Amino acid sequence: MVKVKVEFMGGLDVIFNKQRMHQVLIDGGEVTIKDLIDYIVAEMISNKNDIGVFVENGTIRPGILTLINDADWELEGGEEYVLEDGDIISFTSTLHGG
């Protein structure tokens, strides 16, 4: 079981009941970011029509910035990164107007 903090920013909080910060508990031995994304899609998006705002073709939608402890997830192994207790995962949309 792993306990992480998930943050939705840049307007993404709209599809999570306007709540920006979430504590997430996921069961399992090695939990990866991929598992976290599946969990978010299955359990946390209140309106299923909004799923396309967050994921596209099975992964995070292009234009959403994913950070693991403030580091670009591409540098941490992307979807294969194994979560640790206390990690902060943030998703920030860059798609809104300037």
Partner 1 sequence: MSFVPPSDPVNRAKKIKVSQLCEICHCRKALIRRPKNLQRICKLCFFHVFETEIHNTIVCANLFQKGEKVAVGASGGKDSTVLAYVLKLLNDRYNYGIHIVLLSIDEGIVGYRDDSLATVKRNQVQYDLPLEIVSYRDLYDWTMDEIVACAGVRSSCTYCGVFRRQALDRGAAKLGISHVVTGHNADDMAETVLMNIFRGDVARLEKSTAIITQSSGSPIKRSKPFKYSYQKEIVLYAHYKKLDYFSTECSYAPEAFRGTARELMKNLELIRPSCIIDIIHSGENLILKPKKSSKNELRSASEQQPVEVRSDGSVKLQRNTTAGFIDGGKCERCGYLSSNRICKACILLEGLEKNRAKVSLEKDTSVAGAARLTRALERLSF
Binding site for partner 1 (CB under 8 A): 5, 7, 9-11, 14, 20-21, 62-63, 65, 67, 69-72, 74-75, 84, 86-88, 90, 92-98
Q: What are the two backbone dihedrals, phi and then psi, of residue 42, each rounded to the nearest 5 degrees?
A: -75, -40
Kindly state the smallest distance separating residue 42's Cβ from partner 1, in Å: 24
Kindly state the smallest distance separating residue 29's Cβ from partner 1, in Å: 19
Torsion from C-alpha of 92, 14, 79, 55, nearest 10 degrees: -120
Given the complex with partner 1, which of 12 and 40 has the nearer CB atom? 12
Kindly state the smallest distance separating residue 93's Cβ from partner 1, in Å: 7
Given the complex with partner 1, which of 5 and 42 has the nearer CB atom? 5
Kindly state the smallest distance separating residue 70's Cβ from partner 1, in Å: 5
Is residue 36 packed enough to be buried (19+ CB in 10 Å), middle (13-18) or exposed (0-12)? Answer: buried
Given the complex with partner 1, which of 42 and 71 has the nearer CB atom? 71
Q: d(Cα 47, Cα 30) in Å, to the nearest integer?
A: 29
CA 77 to chain centre: 15
